[in-house]
Amino acid sequence: MDLAEQIAFSYSDVVYLGVGLHSGYGNAQRMYVKRGYIPDGSGVWYKDQICEPYRDCCNDDDLVLYLSKHIK
């Protein structure tokens, strides 16, 4: 992760990533938060589109939350 962030920050001041929301992604969710990533504010995405309020979706690998981290 350190190397990936170092490379990404050489191109931009912000790194974005998506993480799944079901429990199988629990360890990744925790790791990203501990590394300083926060939700980017766009809401939940499903199949590469913003999941509109009250729209049906499935808690599968296509349901993600995008996080961002700004360079210090």
- Rounded CA separation 63/72 (Å): 29
Q: State which residues form the domain around 54.
A: 2-70
Confidence of residue 9 (pLDDT cuts 50, 70, 90): very high
Q: Are 5 and 13 in contact (CB under 8 A)?
A: no
Structural domains counted in the chain: 1
This prediction has a pTM of 0.90
Q: pLDDT for 13-68, tens place per residue?
A: 999 999 999 999 999 999 999 999 999 999 999 999 999 999 999 999 999 999 99
